[in-house]
Amino acid sequence: MRGNKGTCRATHSRTLEALRNDGRYRTATVSMVTDSTPLDGVRSRVVLQDEVTKKQLQYLEKSAKEAGWPMAEVEKFLPHYSPQQIKKAMRTLSLEEAQRLLGETIERNAAGYTEEQARYIDKLNRGQYDLRWLDDERPTWGVRASPSKRGLTLMDINRAYAGTPEDVAPHNSMGPRGAELEAGAPEMGYSLNHKYEVWADNVTELYEEAISRQWSATRDIPWDDLKPLPEDLERAQCEFCTFLTEIEMVASDFPAKWLWRVNQHFHEVKMFLCTQALDEARHLEVFRKRALVNGGGLLHATAKIEQGLTDIMFAPTFVQGSYMMHIVGEGLVLDIFRAGEFLAQNKVEQKIYRLCMQDEARHVSYGTKHMKHYLEEHPDRAEAEAQLHRAAEIGEETFASFLLNPYIVEPLAVLAGGGIKHIDRGMEAVKIVWKYAHEEYLKRCDAAGFDRRDRVKFLPEAPY
């Protein structure tokens, strides 16, 4: 279910109150362009702009005339919705629909309650309860999920009830999968409503694994054991950590960007992406801490590295961004972390890299299985492959740009060689990373049933 491009406004209602009370923000607006359904942004009752200008009113009058809405009706909406929201409603809804869908928030009594709320308050004050919920359908009544040895997992509850999502989400709301959803729920504006767009057959297990294998950069790294390093090694480690601090957060930002667009019918995917966002936040944290804990500090961040990150962030579809991030980017970072353990100058760094490596391998695993599911279930396999090839071509160029960047390659070589004097020896380790990254990338494509072997854009061996 794909909607039109539109504009939506959103913030928290309590924040709104604060903003309204602060003159500086009186006319502030927040907007973002997004895929949206017709009601997206219309039903949001949060309005950051509470003064309607003369110009806006004139524009509304013009739009109302075009839509055939009496201006008197438009004015009823104005205290509750922004001019932009009303304009959007005029474009996407009939007057009757708008009155039905938006009117509830307008018809309130003097105390601020809707008619239905006032009736319920009256009933409660007379000692009567509604109790309709006791007569509702009970589709899960009597279901008892059995915990496994490791506790009550998502796999356990999925075995008990509604564990398999449908191929197309049945509605566009937050109503839980398997629950009875009453009519009239607002559209949430999800744009990823097909299972093949987001699903991976291991995503439920990966979520549980992620929760189970969390660690703390504050508590679990023996920072006190870190000893001063020779300047060349400290500098190399800090340059490398600066690079990692720079890039890690993209793997939080990317899932966060798409998270709300994933239909809640596929809640396991949303939950897994939440764990990934947290994992990557921790990676930023641990590398920033490492850079700042031993006398070196944050060094040089390079603009070129970020070009690859923008490719991921601004990928036009989730699967293309996922390919560039989970398969190409995190696959390479996984190899770098694995090398990091080899390059560590002490057990503190060794543990950092090992724990990050575990997290990264989990993300790569989701990406691989997601790609497999996407290719197998997409209604047009050729189109699905074409999309992934387009992502691969960009992603593979980014791969090469990372391992041809002196701010990445040379610190790695200094660490691997044990100092600047042995940088030549260290380059051998960098070549091994390149070779592994190439081989494993293609093997992950193979595992997903995606043939990149004849098209891959980077060489199997480092060109140095």
Partner 1 sequence: MRFPSIEWFAAVKAAADGRVDEFKTLGFCDATVRVVVQTSSGDEDFVLFFEDYGCRDVVVGDDTSAEDFTIAADLEVWRSMLESIREEGTPSLGLSLASLQLPGKLELRARSQEHEDLFFRYNQSFQEFFNSSRDVATEFAAPSQEGTSG
Binding site for partner 1 (CB under 8 A): 149-150, 208-209, 211-214, 334, 338-339, 341-342, 344-347, 350, 354-355, 357-358, 360-362, 364-365, 368-369, 429, 432-433, 436, 440, 443-444, 446-447
Tokens of 343: 């390059």
Least separation in angstroms between residue 231's CB and partner 1 is 19
Residue nearer to partner 1 on the CB measure, 99 or 350: 350
Least separation in angstroms between residue 438's CB and partner 1 is 12
Radius of gyration from C-alpha coordinates of the chain: 27
Residue nearer to partner 1 on the CB measure, 127 or 151: 151
CA distance 92 to 94: 7
Helices marked H in 213-325: 231-248, 250-259, 267-293, 303-313, 318-322
Q: How many CB atoms lie within 10 A of CB 419?
A: 17
Residue nearer to partner 1 on the CB measure, 68 or 151: 151
- Is 429 within 8 Å of 418 (Cβ atoms)? no
Least separation in angstroms between residue 287's CB and partner 1 is 18
Residue type, 35: D
Residue nearer to partner 1 on the CB measure, 361 or 420: 361
Least separation in angstroms between residue 456's CB and partner 1 is 15
Q: Look-up: residue for tokens 């607006």?
A: 29
CA distance 360 to 276: 9
Residue nearer to partner 1 on the CB measure, 282 or 338: 338
Least separation in angstroms between residue 425's CB and partner 1 is 12
Tokens of 362: 């989990």
Residue type, 309: L
Least separation in angstroms between residue 134's CB and partner 1 is 39
CA distance 312 to 325: 6
Residue nearer to partner 1 on the CB measure, 167 or 446: 446
Residue nearer to partner 1 on the CB measure, 351 or 378: 351
Least separation in angstroms between residue 2's CB and partner 1 is 31
C-alpha dihedral (338, 342, 344, 349), degrees to nearest 10: 40
Tokens of 272: 């897994």
